[in-house]
Structure 1
Amino acid sequence: MGPTASGKSAMALEIARRFPVEIIAVDSAQVYRYMDIGSAKPDKSTQAEIPHHLIDLINPDESYSAARFREDALLLMHEITAHGKVPLLVGGTMLYFKVLRQGLAMLPAADDAMREELEQLALKQGWPAMHAVLSQLDPVTAGRIQPNDSQRIQRALEVCYLTGKPMSEMLGQQQNTSFPFRVFNIALLPSERGVLHEHISQRFSVMLEAGLVDEVRTIREQFNVSGDMPSMRCVGYRQVCMYLDNEIDLERMREMGVFATRQLAKRQLTWLRSMNELRVFDCLDEQLSSQILRFIQEKRIFS
């Protein structure tokens, strides 16, 4: 695990070429078909060489949840171990890692009638006003959500009204669940944040040169997606949507895409620093590969 542009995928391939593993992607963008460039999805030849799972599961106009990830990942982990290999989970969607290990909070299921009522209120008052209501009911959750983040505001209010409790309180009451695997947590963290930022900038430029704008344009033509849908809210895709909607120019789109990716990396690093039992490696170290391979050998994971 590690922040975006830390070299997780490349390192995973090195491990897979040396040890009997199958890769499970822990990535909320790679689950979408056709979203290849912006999600840094491994190409078809790489996937043919090394088994990858939880990639290309759904179309961009569909939704995928942390709950479904946990169910899918656990099933795969049992299948992979059953035929004598080791699951190698690789990605940067930290919520998925947390839910996999700790289980899910007991939140109520979506309520269509409540959601319709909230949407009608938002049409009249606007989502910033709805955010102000959430700030009174659940200030902790409201502090984590932008005033125009309609999807998250709606869900947080829905939970408040259905349960009479703040969502932040309920998220603190995780479902008691066991995790039936021994885990080694390998984290790739940068020794210099500025170097990681430069890698992010370079990678976003490469994505644009590889055809990211055309990729998003094709998705929008093929599927009924809007900028507020989960797939198009992914970093990079949101900014390209704004460009295609003539809200920003090409240079501004690039600047915003790089900034959003850096903010994502910052959030990922915050998650990682709060986690226990991590074996941390400097993703900028020239000896990174040999260090991680030696760590794996010393742990006798495959003996």
Structure 2
Amino acid sequence: MGPTACGKSNLAIKLRNYLPVDIISVDSGLVYRDLNIGTAKPTKQELIQAPHKLVDIKNAEDNYSAGEFKKEVLIAISEIINNKKIPLLVGGTMLYYKILLEGLTELPSADIKLRKHFIKEAKIIGLSCFHKKLKIIDPVSANRIHPNDLQRVVRALEVYFISGKTLSELTNKKNYFFPYQAIQFSLIPRNILFLHKKIENRFRDMLDLGFQKEVEHLFNRKNLNVNSCSINRIGYFQMWKFLSGNISYKDMIEQSITATRQLAKHQMTWLKKWRNVHYIYNDSTDLSIKKILEIFKYYNSNTIF
């Protein structure tokens, strides 16, 4: 685990040289085909070298829920263990980890009419004000959901207006047991300003790699819009607004970098409250690997494997 741009994917790929691991992506963006540059998806060569499960499993026009992730990741874990390998989960979608470890309550079915009403309202009042509406109703869920994540904000409000109970109330009523023992690691930055600079440099590198063209191809598809689950994510959302003529190119860059830094802060907030996790400074990949192997050796000697 760890905040965006801290080097999780690179570390996971290199760990395959030391441990018999198969990688499972825990990233809500990597599930989508055609979303490559802006999601920092491993390159085709890297995916050949180190295959990732749960990457490129959905078309850009599809929705993908946390419930779907939970079902599919448990299948992937089982398959890897049956092949005598160790599942190595890597990614920054903290909600997915939480649901995997703690479960997910059955929630009321979607109300399309209500959902359309909320999306229209969000467009009128803006994402920030719309998120504040959720904060009044369900502050616990609001603190977990990024203001730009329209799909999840809408779903949280939808659950409340259908059931009369908040999403946080319902998800506290769980009867679920994760059937495996997990060793949890989190890469963390020693210097937050260094991470901020890395985030800025990475986004500018994405632009150099052709991120605008990637989004233009999506923009020209009739079955996608700014509220689509795949598009309503950092970078894609801002680039879409630029292509729509709503913001300048400069503002697109600044807003994307700012939103990514806010995401990193949000992820760090989750991780500070996380239980049973080994924190590792991301000073260098070699040092991180050494620390992970030391901890893994300790667990292995205590017969959990």
Verify same fold: TM over 0.5.
Answer: yes
Give unmatched runs, 5+ long, in structure 2.
none
Confirm whether residue 51 of structure 1 aligns to residue 51 of structure 2: yes
Q: Which residue of 1 aligns with 2:279?
A: 280
Q: Which residue of 2 aligns with 1:97?
A: 97
1:38–1:84: structure 2 CA closer, same or farther, 3 Å change rule?
A: same
Distance 2:282 2:57 in 1: 29
Identity %: 39
Deviation at 1:274, TM superposition (A): 0.7
Runs of 4+ in 1 over 3 A off after TM superposition: 112-116, 118-154
Q: Which residue of 2 aligns with 1:239?
A: 238
Task: State the secondary structure of the residue aligned to 1:24.
Answer: strand
Distance 1:210 1:191 in 2: 28
Cα deviation, 1:65-100, whole Å, max 9, x if unaligned, reads 110001000001001100100110000000000000
1:279–1:225: structure 2 CA closer, same or farther, 3 Å change rule?
A: same
Deviation at 1:24, TM superposition (A): 0.2
Deviation at 1:162, TM superposition (A): 2.1
Which amino acid letter does the alignment assign opposite residue 225 of structure 1?
A: L
**Contact persistence 1:127–1:150 (CA under 8 A):** no
Deviation at 1:43, TM superposition (A): 1.1
Q: Which residue of 2 aligns with 1:188?
A: 187
Scaled by the length of structure 2, the TM-score of the pair is 0.88
1:52–1:146: structure 2 CA closer, same or farther, 3 Å change rule?
A: closer
Which amino acid letter does the alignment assign opposite residue 159 of structure 2?
A: V
Which amino acid letter does the alignment assign opposite residue 163 of structure 1?
A: S
Cα deviation, 1:206-249, whole Å, max 9, x if unaligned, reads 11100101000012223521112211111111111111112222
Q: Which residue of 2 aligns with 1:81?
A: 81
Q: Which residue of 2 aligns with 1:201?
A: 200
Q: Which residue of 2 aligns with 1:109?
A: 109
Q: Which residue of 2 aligns with 1:27?
A: 27
**Contact persistence 2:226–2:232 (CA under 8 A):** yes
Cα deviation, 1:127-150, whole Å, max 9, x if unaligned, reads 789778766654655677788976
Which amino acid letter does the alignment assign opposite residue 46 of structure 1?
A: E
Give unmatched runs, 5+ long, in structure 1.
none
**Contact persistence 2:215–2:239 (CA under 8 A):** yes
Distance 2:119 2:22 in 1: 47
Scaled by the length of structure 1, the TM-score of the pair is 0.89
**Contact persistence 2:149–2:233 (CA under 8 A):** no
Q: Which residue of 1 aligns with 2:164?
A: 164
Q: Which residue of 1 aligns with 2:210?
A: 211
Q: Which residue of 2 aligns with 1:271?
A: 270
1:130–1:297: structure 2 CA closer, same or farther, 3 Å change rule?
A: closer
Task: State the secondary structure of the residue aligned to 1:88.
Answer: strand
